[in-house]
Amino acid sequence: MQPLPPGSTIGILGAGQLGRMLAVAASQLGFKCRIYSDVPGPASDVSVATTIGPYEDLEKIAKFAAETDVVTYEFENVPVAAGAAVQQVRPVRPGLKALEVAQDRYLEKSFIEALGLPLPRFASVDGPDDFAAAVAKVGAPSILKTRRLGYDGKGQARLQSADDIAVAFDAIGRAPATLEAMVPFKFEVSVLLVRGLDGTTAFYDIPQNHHEGGILRTSTVPSALPEAHQALARDIAGKLAAALDYVGIIGVEMFYVGEGPTPLLLNEFAPRVHNSGHWTMDGCGIGQFENHIRAVAGWPVGATERHSDCQMTNLIGDDVAAWPQLAAEPGVCVHLYGKNEARPGRKMGHVNRLFPLSTVG
């Protein structure tokens, strides 16, 4: 396929902040963006048109797709049927396979396991009949997570002992779930890679991530991950992306356990631009949002080298009220998402603090 020329239209399923930043990046390359979402969101503020409708309205989805040249998605819980309706009309990138696998934790873990990639012990818990076998396989302490729709710490309950599983299952609404072993990790990292339509793959530097209350607070480059283990992390993520026949940016989250036969364990992946990659917007010549647009449009993958050290900090809830002070702080790049209401746990923006490039990491 020939690359899409400037002036083409990129459709985005979802109207959140990731869609907003994708649309801004697309505009810088001369593209127009159209949004489809079940609810209004900040992506519409920077796009040429928005269609509001349920993702179950496949006829409306198909009509939207016909007004575009290619379609991508900004979150992984777009119904697969909606993606399939788009695919009947226009290409969907990343493809439906990544969407389907990422939506179900148990399917995701099973897919990763089948590739021979390292991950924590896990077991399916669909009901009380599964309690004993799951705990016997995974052990405790462990964490019970809903198979679908969990993010930022939602849909999760911890087990300190085997006796806690019934209470944990009630706490997540008795939804089908996956029991996962708790990992005594040193820190968390993520691999951000972009894979082009021709399979060309490039990696950003690996950030070290810090979470608070299940929500990402900071991502820092360079990380403390040893170079040999950085190479291993890139290899793991590259194999996953290839198996998914992936196109675009993918975020692959990992636990760093430390020295030993299995220093890294794959936690989960996100088939989209990723919060831990926001630092690339200011720390690299070509950030993750531009590279995602390049990939889905069939353009060459852009350079991923960083020109500065960087720490990204999410502005969560009332953090955004400090924007005047942040805007006045030297070396700080402020990104606000245009959301009208600051609520606890809601990502309102982020800042990137830049520092001279180091040779550490």
Determine the pLDDT at residue 326. Answer: 98
In terms of pLDDT, which residue wins out, 167 or 40?
40
Per-residue pLDDT at 361 exceeds 50: no
Determine the pLDDT at residue 163. Answer: 77
In the chain, what is the straight-line distance between the N-terminal and C-terminal CA atoms, in Å? Answer: 38
Determine the pLDDT at residue 302. Answer: 98
Q: What is the Cα–Cα distance from 313 to 334, expressed in whole angstroms?
A: 10
Neighbouring CB atoms inside 10 A of 91's CB total 19
Per-residue pLDDT at 274 exceeds 60: yes
- Confidence at 153, pLDDT banded by 50, 70, 90: low
Query: pTM here?
Result: 0.94
Residue type, 359: T
Cα–chain center distance at 314: 15
Mean pLDDT to the nearest integer, 190-215: 96
| Domains of the chain and CATH, by start | 9-92 (3.40.50.20), 121-181 (3.30.1490.20), 187-355 (3.30.470.20)
Q: What is the Cα–Cα distance from 204 to 188, expressed in whole angstroms?
A: 16
Residue with tokens 């590739």: 115
Per-residue pLDDT at 151 exceeds 60: no
Neighbouring-strand partners of residue 306: 284
Determine the pLDDT at residue 239. Answer: 98
310 to 87, 144, 217, 259, 331: CA distances (angstroms): 38, 34, 14, 26, 10
Determine the pLDDT at residue 242. Answer: 98
Mean pLDDT to the nearest integer, 90-101: 96
Determine the pLDDT at residue 359. Answer: 60
Per-residue pLDDT at 172 exceeds 90: no
- Confidence at 166, pLDDT banded by 50, 70, 90: confident
Nearest Cα to Cα of residue 243 among 42, 89, 101:
101
- Confidence at 161, pLDDT banded by 50, 70, 90: confident
- Token pair for residue 42? 């900040």
- Token pair for residue 347? 């990502």
Mean pLDDT to the nearest integer, 122-145: 88
For CA atoms 112, 292, 214, 152, the dihedral sign is negative
Mean pLDDT to the nearest integer, 171-199: 94
- Token pair for residue 332? 């700080």
Per-residue pLDDT at 156 exceeds 60: yes
Nearest Cα to Cα of residue 294 among 3, 1, 2:
3
Run of H or E residues at 294: helix 288-296
Sheet-wide strand order for 142-146 = 122-125, 177-181, 142-146, 156-159
Q: What is the Cα–Cα distance from 254 to 166, expressed in whole angstroms?
A: 28
Average pLDDT, the chain: 94
Mean pLDDT to the nearest integer, 291-312: 98
